[in-house]
C-alpha cells in the first residue's frame, strides 16, 4: 500500500511541518493513502511500523474528568490503600502543588491493605491515578478496590476498582517517542506540558483525538515532555503503542 502522513489540515508532514500536539501550533498526524483517503487503524499501523520495532504497548486504560474527585487534599498528603493484600504494584499520582498550582506527580509502591503515603505532603488537587510508572510501564491492574484518600482525615478522593489501571487524568513522560494512540470509547483530549506547568490539559485547551482512526503523535515538543489525556464526566478508554 502506498501511503503518506498528513496533518489534520491535509498538509504533508515534512521537516518544516513537524508534529506538535501542544495547543500552540497544534498538529496531529493522520495516515492517508496516496489518494488522500484516511487509513483505518488496521491499515495505518503497518505504515508506521515499516522498518521499526515498537518499544512497548500501554494497555487499554480509563480516562475521566477529575472534576468528580472529592475531598481534595488542599495542602495535605495523600494515602493509597486497597481492600486486597495482593495490591502491591506501582501507583502514580498526578496533581498540583498548593499555592503555585504547578503540576506534580509521585510514584509509590502499594502495600495492600496497609495505607501507603506519598512523600509529598503539600498536594492541592489530585487529577488522576495510574497503576504503573510515569512511562506507562510496570503496570499491575487492581486486584481489589484501591482508594486514594487525603492523609489527615482518611477521606476518599477517588477509587480504582478491580481489573482497572487508571482513573481521571492520565499523564505519561514520553518525550522523544512516536506514539500510536487509539481511542476505544468516549472523548479524549491530549496536550503536551512541562513538569511544574500551571496549565495542563482540559477539554478547552487540549487537542480532541479521533475516535475511529489511529492517532499517530510525535512527542518531541517544545511544550514539554509530558503528555496528558483527559475526558469528560462520561469517561473514555484509550490505548497507546510507544515507538523508540
The reply to whether 79 and 98 lie within a common domain is: yes
139/177: higher pLDDT = 139
Stated pTM of the model: 0.79
Q: Is the pLDDT of residue 78 over 60?
A: yes
3-state secondary structure of 7: coil
The reply to whether 140 and 20 lie within a common domain is: no
- Per residue in 107-153, pLDDT (tens digit) is 999 999 999 999 999 999 999 999 999 999 999 999 999 999 999 99
The reply to whether 92 and 144 lie within a common domain is: yes
> Is residue 7 assigned to a domain?
no
The secondary structure element, H or E, covering residue 54 is strand 54-63
The reply to whether 33 and 81 lie within a common domain is: no
- Per residue in 81-116, pLDDT (tens digit) is 999 999 999 999 999 999 888 999 999 999 999 999
d(CA 154, CA 67): 19
The reply to whether 57 and 73 lie within a common domain is: no
Tell me how many domains the chain contains. 2
C-beta of residue 55 within 8 angstroms of C-beta of residue 177: yes
The reply to whether 200 and 238 lie within a common domain is: yes
Confidence of residue 178 (pLDDT cuts 50, 70, 90): confident
> Which domain does 146 fall in, by range?
66-166
Amino acid at each position: 500500500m502506498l501511503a503518506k502522513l498528513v496533518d489534520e489540515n491535509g498538509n504533508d508532514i515534512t521537516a518544516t511541518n513537524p508534529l506538535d500536539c501542544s495547543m500552540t501550533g497544534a498538529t496531529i498526524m493522520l495516515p492517508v493513502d496516496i489518494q488522500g483517503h484516511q487509513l483505518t487503524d488496521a491499515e495505518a499501523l503497518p505504515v508506521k511500523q515499516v522498518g521499526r520495532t515498537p518499544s512497548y504497548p500501554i494497555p487499554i486504560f480509563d480516562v475521566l474528568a477529575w472534576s468528580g474527585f472529592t475531598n481534595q487534599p488542599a495542602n495535605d498528603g495523600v494515602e493509597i490503600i486497597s481492600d486486597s493484600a495482593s495490591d502491591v504494584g506501582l501507583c502514580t499520582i498526578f496533581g498540583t502543588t498548593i499555592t503555585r498550582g504547578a503540576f506534580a506527580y509521585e510514584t509509590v509502591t502499594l502495600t495492600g491493605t496497609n495505607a501507603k503515603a506519598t512523600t509529598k505532603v503539600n498536594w492541592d488537587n489530585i487529577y488522576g491515578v495510574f497503576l504503573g510508572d510515569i512511562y506507562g510501564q510496570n503496570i499491575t491492574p487492581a486486584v481489589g478496590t484501591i482508594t486514594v484518600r487525603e492523609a489527615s482525615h482518611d477521606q476518599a478522593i477517588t477509587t480504582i476498582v478491580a481489573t482497572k489501571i487508571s482513573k481521571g487524568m492520565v499523564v505519561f513522560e514520553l518525550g522523544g517517542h512516536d506514539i500510536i494512540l487509539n481511542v476505544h470509547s468516549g472523548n479524549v483530549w491530549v496536550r503536551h506540558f512541562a513538569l511544574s506547568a500551571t496549565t495542563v490539559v482540559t477539554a478547552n485547551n487540549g487537542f480532541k483525538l479521533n475516535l475511529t482512526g489511529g492517532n499517530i503523535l510525535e512527542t518531541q515538543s517544545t511544550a514539554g515532555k509530558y503528555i496528558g489525556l483527559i475526558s469528560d464526566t462520561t469517561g473514555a478508554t484509550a490505548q497507546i503503542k510507544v515507538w523508540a
